[in-house]
Structure 1
Amino acid sequence: MKFSILGPVEVETDTGEKVTPQALKVRSLLGMLCMHAEHVISPARLIGALWDETPPRTAAAALQVYISQLRAGFIRAGASPALITTTPSGYTMRLCGQALDLALFESSAAGAEQAVHAGRPLEAARLMSESLALWRGPALADVRTTPSLDGYAQQLDERRNALHEQRLNLELRLGRHAQLIGELYGLVQEHPMWENVHSNLMIALYRSGRIPECLAAYQRIRRTLQEELGMEPCSRLRNLHGAILAREPWLDDHTRPLTSAYAS
């Protein structure tokens, strides 16, 4: 079976049949178990995630029912009864050879980090791309119904954002600026106030000889920040804009880390 939480919560059998729980609470419970796969998670923590600060008096009993429903559904779909185990401290989801997109993401991201430290940037870029390709939208996208669940999901989203920035910087250092432009335009459309992505777009456009578009990208983020937050862009982005206007030589130096180049 394949479990997915990097996007809406989904479960798929080895034959491609979707067996995702339909009930929201049961699906939310599955998301929590997947996020903490191979670790014991206490009933109190699960109840807090499912009902936040106002659980009903029947929450403990309801949780046991939801666990039973999950187990029964997975057994019908051909999974091992040991997939979800009960311990004195709580519940554990043991993957038992099942695929979980979060585990695959973390494994590929760790491999990418090792490749970076070993001086293998092409391998690192490939592994980062494979990791990011596992995402189908915001984590736990269809079960972020309580502040607790939303907080857990944001933790995962931040891991994705950090890896995304790392990969973009690496791709620029590999001289792949032209190939990145389309992706970067999509990212700034999706995240109109993500300044680091705007800076990557500006550099990619500059190195591709598209100076007017590069300057327009800066004016767009500046206008957005002024209108939405009443703020100017950060000093790093302003420094980059000044360097572009001056056509400073470092802008075409693929080997120089961008953060050190325009941080002053």
Structure 2
Amino acid sequence: MRYELLGLIRVIGPDDTSYITAHKAEVLLAALLARSGQVVTADQLINEIWGDRAPRRAHAALHVYVSQLRKFLRNSGGNGQSIVTRPLGYLLCVGPDELDSNDFQRLVDDGRELVRLERHEQALRCFESALALWRGPAFDDARDGPIVNTCATWLEETRLQCVELLIEQYLVLSRHREIVGQLYALISDHPLRETFYRYLMLALYRSERQAEALMVYRAASGRLSDELGLEPCRPLRDLHRAILTGDEAFSGRPS
């Protein structure tokens, strides 16, 4: 049995891939996956599923949804015992290789270690493999409550860190021309993340597109000033100054 939450939640059994069509049951599974291996109390699950609109017999309704989810998991190829009842709530037992988010985190950690060892080609492939696990936003449309939202936010931040690490490897390996288009798209999606502006400026400068690199700085400065009343961070300002002065240390060319 394998659970995948880096996109629309799905369960992969020995013979087929299954999706939950009932939204509340999907939210229940999402909350148990977000806290896999931990007890989630009945009150937490009720809040996750219904928020402040819980029905009068919410605990009985929760019990029904748990029964439905157990049946779904059995029909998907599991043994029906992965959801364990505890005195205060429920726990979902997930093996170390049964959750795609665990695989993602392992690949990111492996990539970081390879960077530390200066094995940049291998690190790049590790980060690419990690990002390839994502099929869409984490938990997709099952982010109804605080447990799943917190987990999804953490996963998204880790994904962006992985993207940054991947871009760094392209720059270290002098493959800057390959990432210009991707960086423009990343800035469009994350217009306040200054690291992407800096990497784009560096990639353009190393691609002999100095004027475009300076235009990127101007765009970043204007966006930060208009929306937050801030000036660019020091690394961005330092790179801007280096481009203006033609600093060879940032050119990526051998000295």
Please, what is the CA RMSD of the aligned residues? 2.4
Alpha-carbon distance between aligned partners in 2 of 1:254 and 1:47, rounded to the nearest angstrom: 59
AA matched with 1:186? A
Alpha-carbon distance between aligned partners in 1 of 2:96 and 2:148, rounded to the nearest angstrom: 26
Paired position in structure 1 for 2:231: 232
AA matched with 1:208? S
Alignment of 1:101-180 (within 5 A): 101-180=100-179
Aligned residues: 254
Q: C-alpha displacement at 1:121, in angstroms?
A: 2.2
Alpha-carbon distance between aligned partners in 2 of 1:243 and 1:106, rounded to the nearest angstrom: 35
- 8 A contact 1:2–1:14 mirrored in 2: no
Alpha-carbon displacement from aligned partner over 1:9-35 (angstroms, at most 9, x marks no partner): 233444454x21112221111112222
Alpha-carbon displacement from aligned partner over 1:179-232 (angstroms, at most 9, x marks no partner): 111221211111112111111111011111122221222222222223323332
Alpha-carbon displacement from aligned partner over 1:60-96 (angstroms, at most 9, x marks no partner): 2222211111110121122222222223353222235
- SS at structure 1 position matched to 2:90: strand
- Flag the 1:254–1:29 CA change in 2: closer, same or farther, 3 A: farther
Alpha-carbon distance between aligned partners in 1 of 2:16 and 2:82, rounded to the nearest angstrom: 19
The alignment's TM-score, normalised by the length of structure 1, stands at 0.85
Alpha-carbon distance between aligned partners in 1 of 2:246 and 2:100, rounded to the nearest angstrom: 43
Alignment of 1:1-264 (within 5 A): 1-17=1-17, 19-52=18-51, 55-96=54-95, 99-253=98-252
When structure 1 is superposed on structure 2, of 196-205 and 93-102 the one drifting more is 93-102
- 8 A contact 2:48–2:144 mirrored in 1: no
Q: C-alpha displacement at 1:42, in angstroms?
A: 2.7
Where structure 2 has 5 or more consecutive residues not aligned to the other structure, the ranges are: none
Alpha-carbon distance between aligned partners in 1 of 2:253 and 2:49, rounded to the nearest angstrom: 48
- 8 A contact 1:173–1:254 mirrored in 2: no
- SS at structure 2 position matched to 1:63: helix
- 8 A contact 1:6–1:102 mirrored in 2: yes
Q: C-alpha displacement at 1:102, in angstroms?
A: 0.7
Q: C-alpha displacement at 1:145, in angstroms?
A: 2.4
When structure 1 is superposed on structure 2, of 26-35 and 46-55 the one drifting more is 46-55
- Flag the 1:109–1:254 CA change in 2: closer, same or farther, 3 A: farther
- SS at structure 1 position matched to 2:20: coil
Q: C-alpha displacement at 1:41, in angstroms?
A: 2.7
- 8 A contact 1:48–1:148 mirrored in 2: no
AA matched with 1:5? L
Where structure 1 has 5 or more consecutive residues not aligned to the other structure, the ranges are: 256-264
When structure 1 is superposed on structure 2, of 96-105 and 27-36 the one drifting more is 96-105
Alpha-carbon displacement from aligned partner over 1:146-197 (angstroms, at most 9, x marks no partner): 3443233212111112222222223211222111112212111111121111
- Flag the 1:254–1:86 CA change in 2: closer, same or farther, 3 A: farther
- 8 A contact 2:111–2:122 mirrored in 1: yes
When structure 1 is superposed on structure 2, of 21-30 and 199-208 the one drifting more is 21-30
- Flag the 1:9–1:145 CA change in 2: closer, same or farther, 3 A: same
The alignment's TM-score, normalised by the length of structure 2, stands at 0.88
Paired position in structure 2 for 1:258: none
- 8 A contact 2:107–2:126 mirrored in 1: yes
- 8 A contact 1:35–1:102 mirrored in 2: no
- SS at structure 2 position matched to 1:41: strand
